[in-house]
Amino acid sequence: MALWQKAGIDPRQESGTWYREAGAGMGATLNMAAAMNACTLSDRATWIAFRNKGDLVMAVEGDPALFNQYGVILVNPKRHPHVKEKAARAFIDWLTGPEGQKAIAGYRVNGQQLFFPNAPPH
């Protein structure tokens, strides 16, 4: 909706039936778009792994406005004492460290890189 707002469009107020909210996960949304021969926004990983593309094609890629950051956060162990803090910290350290970043960069589906690590060096 933020992208529509930047374009000065409120699709819910515009006339016609051109805009639909899927209210579903990305795979289901891509299925819907393929069935309707429609446009949708998709994350790169789901798009690459998705097999039922029909006539859909990638129209835009790499635009900073579409940046989709993933992150990792340790649940506060003081508020949730059942959290395995030591194991969680070890995972976070691995994920944001050189080995984890290499694993993220090396993950491929159909020969294509899905994720691009960008954790700052420790």
Tokens read off for 74: 């340790």
Instruction: Report in angstroms the alpha-carbon separations of 77 from 31, 92, 95, 105, 106.
Output: 40, 15, 19, 30, 32
Other Cβ atoms less than 10 A from the Cβ of 41: the count is 13
Q: With beta carbons less than 8 A apart as the criterion, state whether 30 and 47 touch.
A: yes
Spell out the domains of the chain, with CATH numbers in brackets. 2-66 (no CATH), 69-122 (3.40.190.10)
Read off the pLDDT of residues 60-96 as tens digits, 9 standing for 90 and up.
988 998 888 899 999 999 999 999 999 999 999 999 9
Read off the pLDDT of residues 5-54 as tens digits, 9 standing for 90 and up.
998 988 888 767 788 888 899 999 999 999 999 999 998 889 998 888 88
Angle between helices 85-96 and 98-106 (to 10 degrees): 60
